[in-house]
Amino acid sequence: MKTATFLLIISAGLAFPALACGQSSAAQAPTLTESQAEHTPEITEYSLPPEKLAKAEALYRTRTVLYLFDMIFGLAVLWAVLRLRIGPALRDFAELVSRNRFFQTLIFVPLLLLVIAIASLPLDIYGHHISLAYGLSVQGWVSWAGDWLKSEAVLVGIATLAVLGLFRIIAKSPRRWWFYFWLITLPFIVLLVFVAPVILDPMFNTFIALENIQPQLVRAIEKVTERGGLNIPREHMFEMKASEKVTTYNAYVTGIGATKRVVVWDNTARDMTMPEILFVFGHEMGHYVLNHIYKGLAFFAAISFAGLWLGRRIVIAMLARWGANWRIRDITDLASLPVFLLALTLLALVSEPVNSAFSRHLEHQADIYGLEVTHGLFPDNQHVAAAAFQKLGEKSYDYPTPNALLVFWSYDHPTIQQRIRFALHYDPWDTPRGPQYVK
Ligand SMILES: [Zn+2]
């Protein structure tokens, strides 16, 4: 099971802070300077040269199989944990060590998560192996293992707190716990989004104020923010040293209130032309201006409300059917935690198309904003946008013709092909309706 999936389920806070511009992730494209860019043939659609296309297709197939396998594997691990009665064994051990429920939880949750994490480790390792093999990642195994340990530690910390709260609420209100738990987690998720860019993200990557390394880029960006009638303070713009770990391009918006910021990966700032970087920035600015973080939080609140209501019913039904067989006493038993995880993993799985559609909608809005806010700032910004998408896709070996069902189900961005076609055809300036966001 993907750590991220679990984190999304338990805390969800980390699911929405980053609205990245790139697709998934990826390798080696020629660096274009501004003068060279003028000689680039005009892009009419997303296409890859034959050898890159073959590589993209192979990567697409591997990733699709991995994605489907991961989905089934996550459920299978939890099912095995229940069938093998690992929960009750860990619960008995925790009860042996302490009679206090608080300390029992402190023992039980990390051990259970450790079992799940170790069972899922081979898949995580294979995923990183693929990224290395395709040149999408340059991160060594020691550094990767360090990141894995750190993310597990963060996960255990957050999950333990959540489980402590959950079982306390279940004990107090056996019928309406799902609602109270939902209500209480909301401020914690907002807090998590607030602290993520200043506490969690720096655990994994280095961030430097953009002004300190690329003052000329900040000045160019300020022309874009002025055009959009917005003042993003300079101290809210960062460059991330992504090149230490990956070769792909990206930029994203994260944080809330005082920690809200735009982050550009150094790879992006290094390899794209200035107009292309400004378009990418315009897209991120769209997320910032259109309050996509807040919209994401509201969306998550709605989804998790429905998820917890349904989740309670599924947990009760599973316990009634198999509880005794799995040696789980009742819903207040710590050993019922894997049942909660199984129910929520199932719900996360079936709700994935809704999440993906919502994310694609926001990304499309940000694309529109990016096109509008850069219109007139440099010549032919529609082709500049198309060229930026082409580079993004080429660098990540993004497959040009993915399966429509896969896109519908799991793509959090429109496909590169869709984004390029839209950029080339979006021309509202001479129509009566005019542009949507930037007049
Ligand atoms: Zn985006």
Structure tokens at 267: 């790879």
User: Residue 144: CB partners within 8 Å, gap ≥ 6?
Assistant: 128
DSSP state of 43: P
Give the closest residue to 112 by CA, choosing from 97, 92, 127.
Answer: 92
Task: Please give the helix or strand (H or E) that residue 208 lies within, else none.
Answer: strand 207-209
d(CA 274, CA 36): 12
> What SS3 state is found at 12?
coil
Cβ proximity of 5 and 116 under 8 Å: no
Average pLDDT across the chain, whole number: 90
284 in active site? yes
Does the pTM exceed 0.85?
yes
Span from the CA of 303 to the centroid of ligand 1 (angstroms):
21
* CB neighbourhood size of 192 (10 A): 22
In this predicted structure, what is the pLDDT of residue 111? 98
Span from the CA of 20 to the centroid of ligand 1 (angstroms):
5
- pLDDT digits 0-9 by tens, 109-162: 999 999 999 999 999 999 999 999 999 999 999 999 999 999 999 999 999 999
Q: Which residue in this structure is represented by tokens 């929405």? A: 16
Structure tokens at 117: 């994490």
* CB neighbourhood size of 282 (10 A): 28
- Tell whether the model's pLDDT for residue 9 goes beyond 70: no
**Percent with pLDDT over 70 in the chain:** 91
- pLDDT digits 0-9 by tens, 15-64: 333 444 444 333 333 333 444 444 556 889 999 999 999 999 999 999 99
Q: How far is CA 314 from the centre of its chain?
A: 27
Span from the CA of 416 to the centroid of ligand 1 (angstroms):
12
* Burial bucket for residue 197 (CB in 10 Å: 0-12, 13-18, 19+): buried
Cβ proximity of 276 and 21 under 8 Å: no
Phi, psi (deg, nearest 5) at residue 21: -85, -35
SS3 helix, strand, coil % of the chain, rounded to 5?
70, 5, 25
In this predicted structure, what is the pLDDT of residue 3? 36
User: Residue 209: CB partners within 8 Å, gap ≥ 6?
Assistant: 234, 235, 237, 238, 239
Span from the CA of 140 to the centroid of ligand 1 (angstroms):
28
> What SS3 state is found at 137?
strand
Task: Please give the helix or strand (H or E) that residue 188 lies within, else none.
Answer: helix 177-195
- pLDDT digits 0-9 by tens, 300-318: 999 999 999 999 999 999 9
DSSP state of 197: I
- Tell whether the model's pLDDT for residue 14 goes beyond 60: no
In this predicted structure, what is the pLDDT of residue 418? 97
Give the residues across from 207 on adjacent strands. Answer: 240
Catalytic residue chosen out of the listed positions 42, 57, 95, 284 = 284
Give the residues across from 380 on adjacent strands. Answer: none
Structure tokens at 308: 């917890």
> What SS3 state is found at 313?
helix
Span from the CA of 255 to the centroid of ligand 1 (angstroms):
14
Span from the CA of 302 to the centroid of ligand 1 (angstroms):
22
> Half-sphere exposure of 176 toward its Cβ, with a 13 Å CA cutoff?
4
User: Residue 159: CB partners within 8 Å, gap ≥ 6?
Assistant: 6, 10, 11, 109, 113
In this predicted structure, what is the pLDDT of residue 40? 57
User: Residue 5: CB partners within 8 Å, gap ≥ 6?
Assistant: 74, 345, 348
Phi, psi (deg, nearest 5) at residue 187: -60, -30
d(CA 50, CA 36): 23
- Tell whether the model's pLDDT for residue 75 goes beyond 90: yes
Span from the CA of 256 to the centroid of ligand 1 (angstroms):
16
* CB neighbourhood size of 19 (10 A): 25
Span from the CA of 360 to the centroid of ligand 1 (angstroms):
9
Q: How far is CA 380 from the centre of its chain?
A: 32
Span from the CA of 250 to the centroid of ligand 1 (angstroms):
9
In this predicted structure, what is the pLDDT of residue 61? 97
Task: Please give the helix or strand (H or E) that residue 19 lies within, else none.
Answer: strand 19-20
Q: If you write DSSP's letter for every residue of 237-282 in order, what string do you get? A: EEEE-GGGTB-S--EEEE--GGG-EEEEEHHHHHHS-HHHHHHHHH
Span from the CA of 39 to the centroid of ligand 1 (angstroms):
28
Span from the CA of 412 to the centroid of ligand 1 (angstroms):
9
User: Residue 342: CB partners within 8 Å, gap ≥ 6?
Assistant: 75, 78, 79, 82, 318
In this predicted structure, what is the pLDDT of residue 1? 38
In this predicted structure, what is the pLDDT of residue 42? 82
